[in-house]
Structures are given as structure tokens and as C-alpha cells.
A = this chain, B = another copy of it.
Amino acid sequence: MADAMWLSESVARRAASGCTFSVDVDRVGEDARSLRLRDEIVRRLGRPIVSEAGRANVRLVAGVTSFDSDEAFSIESHDGVTVIAGNTTAALMYGLYGWLRRRTLGGTPTDGRIVSAPDQPIRMIDHWDQIDGSVERGYAGESIFFGRPGSNVHAEFTGFPQRDETDAFRGDMDRVEAYARFLASVGINAVCLNNVNVRGLATNLIADPWLGRVAGIARVFSSFGVSTFLSVNFAAPMRIGGLGTSDPLDPAVRAWWAGVADRIYERIPDFGGFVVKADSEGEPGPFAYGRTHADGANMFAEALAPHGGTVIWRAFVYNCRQDWRDRTLDRARAAYDHFRELDGRFAKNAVLQVKFGPIDFQTREPLSPLIGGMSRTNLIVEFEITAEYLGHQIDVNYAVPQWLSMIHADTGRDDADGRPLETADYLRDVAVDPSRVGYAAVGNVGMDDNWTGHKLAQSNLYGYGRMCWDGSLSAGEIAREWTRLTFPEADGDARATIERILGTSNATYERYTAPLGVGFMVNRNGHYGPGVNDYEYDRWGTYHYADRDGVGVDRTVATGTGYTGQYSPRVAATYENLATCPDELLLFFHHVPYSHVLHDGTSVIQHIYDTHFAGAAAVDDYIAQWETLAGRIDDTAYENVRERLQRQRENAIAWRDQINTYFHRMSGVDDAHGRVIHR
């Protein structure tokens, strides 16, 4: 029996106790979603549904309101009767779970009305699941969609044991249903089932017989209001279509994709569309035919348009064979350099998916200059819930603070009234089709009993969903919600302890890993643990340039790679200037001597020592804090986190010592406080 995450059935039943429901969806029609809605009430909550609304004290009504968003809902309470209303059945599902959450958290008004509408129309989870059952960058066991029944290993995704590929599907539909419920409960409305690196037989997911199995999964998601996407291989027309080309301007290729889309929509009427990684890290793409990314994306858009589908085109394109010797090259420039000139050339149902930062989900990055650099393009901002660079769900790392700082970052653009646009509003502002913008994130669940390996890593999935729906929530509010829902047995002190650990964990991880935004000092085998020089002479464009005198990447216009020039003048000036560049991004933008003094008066080298000692010490403190929870929270969760914290401690010490020694050997500067730095 898998972990209930934040949806404990007993808590939900307590919240709904004494309630009698009515469900009126006649105006939008009875369908799989309304059946699912009734099922949630009767089976999950154990409450009756009456046919006469007058006899119910919780009344779900679709189609009588007319919110701008078909996903918005209202909750209105008067005289002991609550009405949950929305345009659609999907909205009622969000309303039901929103009502339950409020009841549990104690925030339901006895009388009054609240309206809740999602900030972002696209709220998506990308799975990097592979048909052999492995998950690229997965740290919680095998795929919940693919792999053998009953199997769950933690092998590296690149070295996964060869599998019988005649049936790629795990077939655990209970698991899929539970997952769909989790997603719906926090407002996620789209999911892509398979890895963007579409290798081997995974290319066949868009065709029979596997398409039928995809449809079975999609039906479950659809009943919860979640639409299903597939990642496709740009070269599929040649690899499985028998064509001699995959040229996006070739009529036969376009016809082939149109046929593929037609057959998919026959099976999956509300299919979301395609996700495409093209001409990136070795994947095929339009460049082979002298075509642009827009040509590629628009071909898929044309095939999907008749069905209302969307193509999501990833902007994660860069030269992954960079020469470390040439300091004028800068991978951070790549997305902007590739896509800026294509602004306005993407179809209405095409969306460009941009990683939040210019590199790759590092602990600290500035906002991507494409978010602010486009003016007539649908954009999705991409996050990574799975903790690839954030501790592999071994180290506690509640990443919501970082993500929020990205969606609230200044894009450098102003609205019509001259007010600075944050990411969230900017997306609407530049959209060709405002219903096709939003957020996507790589998921973090697998077949582990608790779904995410580390119990506390559930908070990131929860938090990501909540952030997509309501970007005005603070990281602390989201942590408070999650903790209360997840540990209903915990007393207030215990919850405060958990929230304290969550709330500081992202900063703690940053402290003991790569300093001051320099990034990528990570072990090249899998990205867990330190490897200060692991990428320094490699082809990935991720360097720190540390020498005996200083460290950091000069990305200024004045003396460096010119990357800061990709931002609007306002943002560019902040980063270009040493005096205004935020310390936490100092080494991302500047190469400075170890003696450079930060805004708080410490030198760079002393800051490195200080933060690394502090970061590792914080983990010791987490262990002490966590141990006070023994017997006060669920034993399984307690033991899971206790064990992970021990491993985190080892990791933090490895980072602390390797970073400190590396920079001590380089700089020759001793710690001002005389702490142990190994020679």
C-alpha cells in the first residue's frame, strides 16, 4: 500500500464528516469526469450523494457560473449550506479538493464566498520515464507507467538492465489513479508520460499497439481533469514511418504526422499534444534539413491544430561539444541566441518551454533572459522537481523558495502601465494564445512506497502544484499546508520543526555545495556529491575557471562573454555591475579575486569557508531536530527521513571538505576562524 502523501483518507473523511452531497452537472453533461467526481465523494469520502439538492449541505454545481477560467471554482457558505460551483466538472473536482483542504487546514469561512482561479493555464508535470522502467534523473525507484509488474530497482537510468520490451507497460492502474488524484488535488492539469529523450522503441508509443495502453492511462488522468502528452522523436517519420526524410517542410512528413495525430485523437479525444526535444544533446531535429526550430514546431502544431492539441518545444538547446579552452564561448547564451530571433514565428498552438535559468536547474541561477526577451510567443517556464542537482532526494531540499523567486523575478519588461512584469504576468503579456502558457516541471515520483524516496520530497510535488495555481502563496504557507496535511498526527511543535527544516533546506544545500552561483561543481557521475573539477575541462560549457588568484565566470558585456547583454537594460545593469550584482550570483556573472569583498564585508574566500562550515553544521542540527520527532509522527516517515539525514550528513561533509580544501589549496588563504581545513 503506497503512502497517502498529503491525501490521507481518514483526514479527508474527517473533513467531510456529517456532509451530504449533491452533484449537479447536467448543464455540462454526464461524463467520465462527473462519474469520477461522484466516486471521490462516495468511495473516498464515504459520504452519500442525494439527487435532490435541497437535501444536501454540500452542493456541487457546474455550468451556472461563468468564470473566465473553466478551471476556476467558487466556494460559498451560508446557513450551514456550502455551494461549490464552476463552469465545468473539472472545476468542481478542484473545488472539492480545495474545499477539503480548507476544511482540514481550518480556513473555511462559515459564511461567505471565495473564488479560486489558477494563475497559469498550463500546469504540467513532465515524466522522464523510459520504457524499460528506468527514470532519467529519477531517485524514487522505477517508473509508475513503464517496467515490469512488481519490479522496482534504483539502477542508473543509463545502465538499466535490459528488459523485455514487448510489453513496456507496468499496468499498475491503481498507482496511476492515485497519482492522478494527487495531481488533481493540487491543480495539475497536464502530464507527459515519457522522457523527452525518446530512444529506441519509445518512439513507438504514438502508434499501435502501445497507443492503446497509453489511452488506458490517459483515460484515468482525464477523469481527474489531467490531459496526457507524449514526447515524440523528431525522426519518427524515418524511424517508424518508413519515410526517407523527417524534413518538417516536406508534405509527406507533414501528412504522416497529421495521420499520427488523427489516430491518437481517435483513441484519446482530450489528448494534450506533443513534447519535443530537438537538436539538443544529440537528439534529431530540423537543423538536419536546414530548417528552424519554428519550422519544426509548426509542423507538429499543424498536425495537432484540428484536434485542439498543443506542441511544446523545448528551448534547452546548446552546443554540448564546447571547447573549454575558448573563454569567449558561453553556454548560458545559448537559449536566447537560438530562439530570440524566432520570436513571433511560432504557431498559435505551439509553446516554447524555457528552463527557468540559462544553464540547467542549478541551485542558483538568474532568470533565463528568454523570459523577458520574447514578445509574441507562448512560453512555458520549466522547473525540475526531481532533485537532479539538488541532492537526489537523499538530501532534504524544499525547492519552492527558489522556484518562487523565479516566478517573482523581474523580467526587465514593463506592462502597459509601465510597471515591471514578473515572470507570471509576463507569460500572459507575450502570449499568442493566453490559454497556452504556464509552467512545467520534471516530476519526482517513482515506485517507492512513499513515491518520492525522501518523505519530505513530497513537499516539492505538492508545492509545485500549489505554486502553479496560486503564485501569491509564500513558500512558508505552502510548507505549512503540506506539513499539516501530511502529518495530521503531529502536534504544533512537531509541525513547526518540520516546517523549519523545510524552510531552510534549500539555502542549506546551497551553502555546502557550489558557492555564489558558480554552479556545476558536481560529481559528473550522476550529479550527486562534489566534483569540483569534474566539468572544468569537459565539453558541456559549465566551468568555474578557478585559479590561484580568483574564481568565477566573466559574463559581462564589458570584459566577458556579453551574456548580461541578453537582458533588458534594467536587469543587465544590475548584473553587469560588480557593485549591484547580488552576491549569491557573483561568480555566475563575474570572475573575481578571492579577496573580493562581498556586500556583508566578508571576502569571497572567507565566505566559501563560512558557508561550507555552516551548511554542514545545519545538517547536524536537522538531525538533532528530527530526532525530537520520534514517536510524535508516523514511524515510517520518521525512519525514512532519519536515514536520509544520515546520508545527507555524509554528503554535506564531503562537500564542505572538498570545497574548502580545493579553494585553500588554490588560494593559500587560511580560515579566519582557524577551523579545520585539510591540506
Contacts and interface: CB of A to CB of B under 8 A. Distances in A.
Interface stretch (A68-76, A179-187, A240-248, A660-668): A660-668
A664 B666 CA distance: 11
Interface stretch (A229-237, A527-535, A579-587, A617-625): A527-535
A256 interface: no
Given A161-B162, A162-B161, A525-B525, A661 B548 contact: no
A675 interface: no
Nearest to A156: B159
A67 interface: no
Given A547-B666, A666-B666, A534 B537 contact: no
Given A546-B665, A548-B666, A162 B159 contact: no
A162 B165 CA distance: 14
Contacts of A666: 547-548, 665-666
Interface in A642-668: 654, 657-658, 661-662, 664-668
A657 B534 contact: no
Contacts of A159: 158-159
A537 B658 contact: yes
Nearest to A669: B548
Of A532, A547, A658, the most chain B CB neighbours within 10 A belong to A547
Interface of A: 158-159, 161-162, 324-325, 327, 524-525, 530, 532-534, 537, 545-549, 654, 657-658, 661-662, 664-668, 678-679
Contacts of A547: 664-666, 668, 679
Nearest to A546: B665
B548 A548 contact: yes
Nearest to A325: B678
Contact of A661 (B162, B537, B661, B667): B537
A679 B545 contact: yes
Contacts of A658: 537
A658 B324 CA distance: 9
Of A327, A530, A533, the most chain B CB neighbours within 10 A belong to A533
A678 B328 CA distance: 12
A188 B553 CA distance: 57
A667 to B, nearest CB: 7
Nearest to A654: B537
Contacts of A534: 533-534
A227 B215 CA distance: 62
Contact of A533 (B162, B532, B545, B549): B532
A500 B28 CA distance: 86
A18 to B, nearest CB: 57
A493 to B, nearest CB: 38
A161 B158 CA distance: 11
Contact of A657 (B325, B524, B662, B664): B325
A658 B162 CA distance: 36
Contacts of A548: 548, 665-668
Nearest to A657: B325
14 contacts: A324-B678, A325-B678, A525-B525, A532-B537, A533-B533, A533-B534, A534-B534, A537-B657, A537-B662, A545-B679, A546-B665, A548-B667, A548-B668, A666-B666
Contact of A668 (B524, B549, B657, B662): B549
Nearest to A529: B537
Nearest to A679: B327
A539 to B, nearest CB: 10
A678 B327 CA distance: 9
A195 to B, nearest CB: 19
A396 to B, nearest CB: 24
- 6 nearest A-B residue pairs (beta carbon): A547-B665, A533-B533, A325-B678, A548-B548, A159-B159, A537-B658
A557 B525 CA distance: 37
Given A325-B657, A548-B665, 5 more contacts: A158-B159, A547-B664, A547-B666, A547-B668, A548-B668
A378 B159 CA distance: 42
